[in-house]
Amino acid sequence: MQCREGQGTGPENLLPEKSLTDTIAMDIDTTAVNRLRHRFGEHDQVWLFGYGSLIFKADFTYLERKPASIRGHVRRFWQGSHDHRGTPESPGRVVTLAPQAGATCSGMAYLIRPDVFDYLDHREKNGYLRFSTTLTFDDGTHAPGLVYIADPDNAAYLGPAADVIIACQIAAASGPSGRNRDYLTELADALDALGDVDPHVQALVACLPPDSSP
Ligand code: SIN
């Protein structure tokens, strides 16, 4: 697959709902809001569900991790990344969860101490909010936990686009955490290792133009 010049990088493709100027000017740091969202009280351990980079980049302290899933959501590359896998001028695309009745999204569950959210809230600050959810483990047991979701109201949200448009945007973007294409392929590999088949992720990998870096 070849990206036409400008495909996936022009404002008409990247920012269906907002102008580029609005995007550059916005302040979308959710850190302070997330700090107020949950009181951990006597809970000294919390389950966190990860479905994107939190599966393949676990650079935080955890007590235990194991595969899990949550219901009623699908993984989608619909969130803009201005701080990790892109820049304000050329945002990348990373995953968020979209509600879908009957769906199951698989990922990785981490049992963490509440103070780890100081780091995680900073890492996920580009539009993600913490939500309560129910995790289902591979043995069929359940546990309450938290998940970061970037919903359509956040200023960095990009929303749906054709697979080829999303793949070309990903191929063109890079940020402080590395290339956006590596986020996609590392996520695909991690899902493969979990035995998960995510048609959305696989379709985007299939649309990625060849890697031209040496
Ligand atoms: C997650 O991995 O659970 C959230 C999205 C991301 O950080 O890639």
Residues 67-112: tens digit of each pLDDT: 999 999 999 999 999 999 999 999 999 999 999 999 999 999 999 9
* pLDDT over 70 percentage in the chain: 88
Q: Which residues pair with 74 in a beta bridge?
A: 98
* Atom 2 of ligand 1: nearest residue by CA position: 52
| pLDDT score for 17 | 34
Return the residue matching tokens 């709902």. 17
For the chain, how many residues are written? 214
Residue 77 Rama label (left phi>0; alpha psi -120 to 50; beta): beta
Q: Cβ distance 114 to 60 under 8 Å?
A: no
| pLDDT score for 13 | 35
Distance (Å) from CA 200 to ligand 1 centroid: 16
- In whole angstroms, how far apart are CA 158 and each of 37, 105, 141, 182? 24, 20, 35, 19
210 CB-contact burial (10 Å; exposed 0-12 / middle 13-18 / buried 19+): exposed
Rounded to the nearest 5 percent, the helix, strand and coil shares of the chain are: 30, 30, 40
Distance (Å) from CA 210 to ligand 1 centroid: 25
Output 37 or 77, whichever has higher pLDDT: 77
| pLDDT score for 43 | 84
Q: Is any atom of ligand 1 closer than 6 Å to the C-beta of 83?
A: no
| pLDDT score for 3 | 78
C-alpha to C-alpha distance for 80 and 34, rounded to whole angstroms = 19
Q: Is any atom of ligand 1 closer than 6 Å to the C-beta of 145?
A: no
Output 196 or 26, whichever has higher pLDDT: 196
Active site residues: 124
Q: Is any atom of ligand 1 closer than 6 Å to the C-beta of 110?
A: no
Q: Is any atom of ligand 1 closer than 6 Å to the C-beta of 52?
A: yes
| pLDDT score for 5 | 57
Which two structure tokens, joined as six digits, stand for 87? 């820049």
In the structure, what pLDDT confidence band is assigned to residue 19 with cuts at 50, 70 and 90?
Answer: very low
| pLDDT score for 37 | 86
Q: Cβ distance 111 to 92 under 8 Å?
A: no
Entry pTM? 0.88
| pLDDT score for 35 | 87
DSSP string computed for 50-66: E-SHHHH---S--SEEE
Distance (Å) from CA 51 to ligand 1 centroid: 6
C-alpha to C-alpha distance for 143 and 47, rounded to whole angstroms = 8
Output 34 or 160, whichever has higher pLDDT: 160
* Mean pLDDT in residue range 183-211: 97
Q: Is any atom of ligand 1 closer than 6 Å to the C-beta of 198?
A: no
Parse the chain into domains and list their residue ranges. Answer: 24-206
- ∠ Cα 32 33 36 (to 5°): 95
Q: Count CA atoms within 13 Å of residue 180 on its CB side.
A: 30
Q: Tell me which fold the domain 24-206 belongs to.
A: Hypothetical upf0131 protein ytfp (3.10.490)
Ligand 1 atom closest to the Cα of residue 50 is 3
Ligand 1 atom closest to the Cα of residue 79 is 5
* Mean pLDDT in residue range 161-172: 97
**Does pLDDT of 143 surpass 90?**
yes
| pLDDT score for 6 | 52
